[in-house]
């Protein structure tokens, strides 16, 4: 190593408690040298495997490959996680520079004929090898990964594959950077107090605080979730609601340097080229080979089945809002910027409560207590803040996770609030994955990142009910990572089929509607009064408010995803026309000029959900069916929770997900539980 590298904290053994990431020591200039050194080291590890004179076997080939590049994996996790949660122009430039290097490195492995020869030799002996279920899974997964990454291609096609994957790696980053730039570029500064009419005091105070932080006079609103969503829901000024909606829905569609139209077309074209190079008709066919759904036809049937059930209800829900708006003096057709506004008022009329009425009982610190208590009650976990664990931003808190016997389980980072360097949305990720090869137990470091309402000068962070369900959702993903008890990094935690990964997250959302859980922590932040039972009943009754509309909205995203990826020719022409055609069956509103979902659809163009957005609804079927067991046995029933933990959370991707699900449930799921829960039957 050079002296520069010996002084690079990313290239030293991570010290301190649990060998967590050395965030305090890492500087921007450390990343590129660390990547270069770690890639070189990983290449040496793989070459040593290839040069091994011993006969290829499971241990010296499959396991050795799964463990190779550990340092590189840790550096990647730190860099790319921060590029999503705490980025800057320099980080984004490094990402664009390093992406092709990482693509080349990955291709050098999967396209190496000698290495694939060793893997193939072990794979062809699999019937005679004495392997357990997880070992068999890793062997099959490794072999398929190489085949699906071009190992069987001829020399000319391998070069095409290299070029395609390298360009795709950069385009995904470009898409994400454009969305972030467009999100940060828009601000609505209100200087006339009458334009704040209808907005709750807490939202007004937050906007004043945002303006003050930017050294501006007035009230500043932006396209971050805690600002944008309440504005559309409560602001009486229709013109300003429309302005906010158009700004949000046209991101990436302005014909400027952050425009995503050409990026989308090129991504779709390259994905199709890659799929056809590998012998598939479409990108969806290629992706779904490694999913529970298996084929595009099965996905289409699944979406159509849900659409058939929900569309009549959605039409009625739209008509109900239109009628309500007319009754209250609105003279036109309800537009997208009117929907949340009149829906919220209709919900108040039907159920006699608002989201703002619930927020004082959902102080973030108390919600954290409630979520941690749930983890203790179901899985025996204890979470303790540890300030000696380094974090990457003052907003981030680090916890040690211990089991009932005080044994270390995981490190958990929580990062709640929006900022300009953080992309929108909420997600779970990890800085180190779990494994236990040869008794060397490596416990995971997991991170949950959200964009929740920040504290103001007069009040703590008070969450909306939706934010509470989001917290439970991401914590469910976190449990999947933290409780993993697998042998290998390649099968542990959330390394599962994409349409199975949302089961733990979505199932844990169900506790948000349970009085027995809410009673444990939901108290008024000023008076200490418990969330009234009457208000809980109203929340429960309103659970299915506009459930069909939400179903159709999610189905429209899934159908748009499949339209892009289940096609045999590139996308040409106007993307707005393409999008309208793809989602026509689900549309309830008139088209909005300039509005385009595709140019901000990060899930499918930079988030890994390509040909996989349907998985949210797929997993809802699983989660509704799974939670019915808790409802039957008790929402804190430890025996049920132990079964879910042992059969789902601990098993990661160690075997086929349907086998894991049936081990918990005793049968395959049907859509009936979901339709019943949503009131659509």
Residues 6+ away with beta carbon under 8 Å from 54:
60
- The CA distances from residue 494 to 446, 614, 654, 660, in Å, are 11, 18, 10, 14
Residue 415, Cβ neighbours under 10 Å: how many?
22
Look up residue 613 and give its two tokens.
């957005």
Look up residue 534 and give its two tokens.
């009457």
Look up residue 34 and give its two tokens.
């660390």
Dihedral sign, Cα of residue 172, residue 178, residue 184, residue 189: negative
Q: State the catalytic residues.
A: 474
- Secondary structure of residue 437 in the 3-state scheme: strand
DSSP state of 600: G
- Secondary structure of residue 44 in the 3-state scheme: helix
Whole-angstrom Cα distance, residue 613 to residue 558? 5
Match 């013109």 to its residue by tokens: 239
Residue 191, Cβ neighbours under 10 Å: how many?
10
Beta bridge partners of 221: 188
Look up residue 524 and give its two tokens.
């008024």
Whole-angstrom Cα distance, residue 637 to residue 639? 6
Match 């504290």 to its residue by tokens: 455
Contact yes or no for 71/42 (Cβ under 8 A)? yes
Match 């053994």 to its residue by tokens: 13
According to the 3-state scheme, what is the secondary structure of 287-349? HHCCCCCCCHHHHHHHHHHHHHHHHHHHHHHHHHHHHHHHHCCCCCCCCHHHHHHHHHHHHHH
Using DSSP bridges, classify how beta strands 408-415 and 445-449 pair: parallel, antiparallel or unpaired. parallel
- Secondary structure of residue 533 in the 3-state scheme: helix
Picking from 49, 63, 122, 45, the residue whose alpha carbon sits closest to that of residue 488 is: 63
Contact yes or no for 134/488 (Cβ under 8 A)? yes
The count of residues in the chain is 681
Whole-angstrom Cα distance, residue 588 to residue 578? 17
């Amino acid at each position: 190593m050079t002296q520069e590298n010996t002084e690079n904290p990313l290239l030293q053994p991570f010290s301190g408690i649990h060998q967590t990431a050395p965030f305090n020591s890492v500087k921007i200039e450390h990343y590129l040298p660390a990547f270069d050194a770690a890639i070189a080291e990983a290449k040496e590890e793989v070459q040593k495997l290839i040069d091994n004179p011993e006969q290829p076997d499971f241990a010296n080939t499959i396991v050795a490959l799964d463990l190779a590049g550990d340092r590189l994996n840790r550096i990647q996790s730190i860099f790319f996680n921060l590029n999503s949660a705490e980025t800057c122009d320099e980080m984004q430039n490094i990402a664009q520079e390093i992406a092709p290097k990482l693509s080349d490195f990955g291709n050098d492995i999967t396209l190496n004929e000698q290495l694939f020869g060793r893997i193939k030799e072990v794979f062809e002996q699999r019937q005679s090898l004495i392997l357990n279920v997880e070992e068999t899974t890793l062997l099959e997964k490794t072999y398929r990964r190489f085949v699906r990454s071009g190992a069987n291609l001829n020399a000319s096609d391998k070069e095409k594959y290299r070029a395609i994957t390298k360009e795709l790696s950069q385009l995904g980053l470009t898409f994400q950077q454009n969305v972030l730039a467009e999100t940060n570029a828009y601000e609505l500064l209100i200087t006339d107090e009458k334009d704040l009419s209808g907005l709750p005091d807490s939202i007004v105070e937050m906007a004043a605080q945002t303006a003050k932080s930017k050294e501006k006079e007035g009230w500043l609103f932006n396209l971050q979730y805690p600002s944008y969503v309440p504005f559309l829901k409560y602001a009486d000024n229709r013109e300003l609601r429309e302005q906010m909606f158009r700004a949000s829905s046209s991101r990436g569609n302005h014909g400027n340097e952050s425009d995503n139209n050409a990026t989308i077309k090129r991504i779709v074209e390259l994905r199709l080229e890659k799929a056809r190079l590998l012998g598939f008709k479409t990108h969806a066919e290629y992706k779904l080979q490694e999913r529970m759904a298996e084929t595009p036809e099965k996905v289409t049937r699944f979406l159509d089945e849900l659409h058939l059930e929900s569309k009549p209800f959605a039409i009625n829900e739209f008509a109900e809002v239109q009628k309500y708006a007319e009754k209250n003096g609105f003279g036109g057709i309800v537009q997208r910027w009117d929907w949340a506004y009149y829906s919220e008022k209709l919900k108040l009329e039907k159920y006699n409560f608002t989201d703002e009425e619930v927020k004082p009982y959902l102080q973030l610190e108390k919600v954290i207590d409630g979520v941690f208590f749930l983890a203790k009650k179901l899985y025996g976990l204890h979470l303790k803040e540890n300030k000696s664990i380094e974090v990457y931003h003052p907003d981030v808190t680090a916890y040690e996770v211990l089991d009932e016997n005080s044994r270390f389980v995981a490190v958990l980072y929580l990062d709640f609030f929006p900022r300009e360097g953080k992309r929108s949305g909420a997600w779970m990720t990890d800085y180190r994955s779990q494994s236990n090869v040869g008794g060397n137990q490596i416990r995971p470091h997991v991170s949950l990142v959200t964009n929740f309402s920040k504290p103001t000068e007069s009040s703590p962070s008070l969450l909306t009910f939706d934010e509470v369900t989001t917290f439970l959702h991401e914590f469910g993903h976190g449990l999947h990572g933290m409780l993993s008890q697998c042998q290998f990094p390649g099968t542990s935690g959330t390394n599962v089929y994409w349409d199975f990964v949302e089961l733990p997250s979505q199932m844990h959302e169900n506790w948000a509607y349970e009085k027995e859980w809410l009673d444990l922590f939901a108290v008024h932040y000023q008076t200490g009064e418990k969330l009234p039972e009457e208000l809980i009943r109203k929340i429960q009754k309103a659970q299915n408010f506009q459930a069909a509309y939400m179903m159709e909205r999610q189905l429209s995203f899934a159908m748009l995803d499949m339209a892009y990826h289940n096609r045999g020719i590139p996308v040409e022409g106007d993307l707005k026309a393409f999008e309208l055609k793809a989602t026509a069956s689900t549309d309830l509103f008139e088209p909005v000029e300039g509005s385009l979902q595709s140019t901000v659809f990060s899930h499918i163009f930079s988030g890994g959900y390509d040909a996989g957005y349907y998985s949210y609804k797929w997993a809802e079927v699983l989660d509704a069916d799974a939670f019915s067991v808790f409802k039957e046995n008790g929402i804190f029933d430890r025996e049920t929770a132990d079964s879910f933990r042992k059969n789902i959370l601990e098993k990661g991707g160690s075997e086929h997900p349907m086998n894991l699900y049936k081990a918990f449930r005793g049968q395959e799921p049907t859509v009936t539980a979901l339709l019943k829960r949503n009131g659509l039957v």
